[in-house]
Amino acid sequence: MKIDCIHFYVTNAAQIQDLSIGQIGLRDLGSKITEDTIEYLVGNDNLLLSISSPLSSDSPVAKYLQDHPSGVKGVSFQVPDLALIRHRVDRLGLEVLATSTDTELPYLKIQGWGPVEHTFIQSSPASKTTTIVGGSPLPRDNRQDLITDIDHLVLNVATGELDAATTWYQNLFDFQVQQTFDIQTQTSGLTSKALVSSCGKIRFNINQPSSNNSQIQDFLDRNHGAGIQHIALQTNDIFRTIDRMQQQQLAFLEIDPTYYTQLKIRAITAQNSALTATEWHQLQNLQILADWSDSSPEAVLLQIFTQPIFESPTFFFEVIERRNRAKGFGRGNFQALFAAIEQNLAA
């Protein structure tokens, strides 16, 4: 199983297409116009984003935007056994929105958690990306992309829904809980579970607020319910990638300088030499977070987070490098991210 496509419904698709290509570094993969909707495709050989805007009030995008701000409407997945997914959907009594048994591209679309929809597409060995968006295989080339794949997605749910949402995704996707977090700042908090697919290719995190003034609750209020808060884009060279993005004026969340002071003390204490002196300088200069486990200090998790990209501060991108096959999610990075989002919302 792998993520096939992330479907965005937004007020200004051309603007988000420009950001995705010019600032993030994805490729233009074409567009499609109907009577009521315009859709742009951006990505590369391993990831695909569909960005749609309404051209009239009859557009399904317009109807979505009446109830929610710009954001992720759906996530589609390639699966090796669509029949198995159909069986699980029937057994769980889930709402089916659309289905096709077309031998060229069989798929099943269901209502996910909250307004998010999930489409399951029978995977094809002929193409890495066989989405129903365009109805045909997408163009490919041998270009070296700084962004290599989607690392994980994060879903925010209401207070009291974390366990139910986790069970829902476990039953349908056969996800397993990899980590559990209870993050607190001086003013608010969240509880989170990090899920991973049995094949290890999909990471799906779920957050719920643990206080009424949590930034997760702020998201839920602004989004009018549950939804995808951010998507992490994978890279093999985060320093080069972020340097390029910042040169293209992509804005990132600012991190409290004390984070880097404490991080250096921790590295010295643990005698962790996984980062070079130059990289330590770049780390703070570029505002990148770093974390590792005491048992595997060479496996460093490097992360950075953009400022919200839509008119409502409900969605942002993350860029992540898993050096030496770093697994999971560092608690220190999680804490710093949570604090940075709070500071950004308060600004």
Are 109 and 60 contacting, i.e. CB atoms less than 8 angstroms apart? no
Q: What is the pLDDT along the chain (347 residues), one digit of tens a residue?
A: 999 999 999 999 999 999 999 999 999 999 999 999 999 999 998 999 999 999 999 999 999 999 999 999 999 999 999 999 999 999 999 999 999 877 778 999 999 999 999 999 998 765 455 454 444 455 555 557 899 999 999 999 999 999 999 999 999 999 999 999 888 877 778 899 999 999 899 999 999 998 888 889 999 999 999 999 999 999 999 999 999 999 999 999 988 888 888 888 888 888 888 899 999 999 999 999 999 888 888 899 999 999 999 999 999 999 999 999 888 786 666 666 666 666 665 65
Q: What is the pLDDT of residue 42?
A: 96
Please tell me whether residues 114 and 171 are part of one structural domain: no
- Report the C-alpha gap between 40 and 6 in whole angstroms: 12
- Quickly list DSSP for 193-248: EEEE-TTS--EEEEEEESSTT-HHHHHHHHHTS-EEEEEEEEES-HHHHHHHHHHT
Q: What is the pLDDT of residue 326?
A: 87
Short-list 81, 67, 148, CA closest to 121: 81
- Residue 195 pairs with which residues in a beta bridge? 177, 204
Question: Where is 179: in which H helix or E strand?
Answer: strand 176-184
Residues 6+ apart with CB under 8 A from 176: 170, 195, 196, 197, 198
Domain count along the chain: 2
- Report the C-alpha gap between 182 and 285 in whole angstroms: 29
CATH number for the domain including 76? 3.10.180.10
Please tell me whether residues 282 and 176 are part of one structural domain: yes
Q: What is the pLDDT of residue 183?
A: 80
Q: What is the pLDDT of residue 135?
A: 47
Q: What is the pLDDT of residue 154?
A: 96
Please tell me whether residues 294 and 155 are part of one structural domain: yes
- Report the C-alpha gap between 210 and 60 in whole angstroms: 34
Please tell me whether residues 162 and 239 are part of one structural domain: yes
Please tell me whether residues 25 and 104 are part of one structural domain: yes
- Cα–Cα distance list, 298 to 110, 148, 242, 294, 333 (Å): 41, 22, 21, 9, 16
Please tell me whether residues 103 and 210 are part of one structural domain: no
Please tell me whether residues 236 and 166 are part of one structural domain: yes
Reduced to 3 states (helix: H, G, I; strand: E, B; else coil), residue 1 is: coil
Q: What is the pTM of this model?
A: 0.91
What residue numbers bound the domain in which 256 lies? 147-346
Q: What is the pLDDT of residue 17?
A: 97
Please tell me whether residues 107 and 205 are part of one structural domain: no
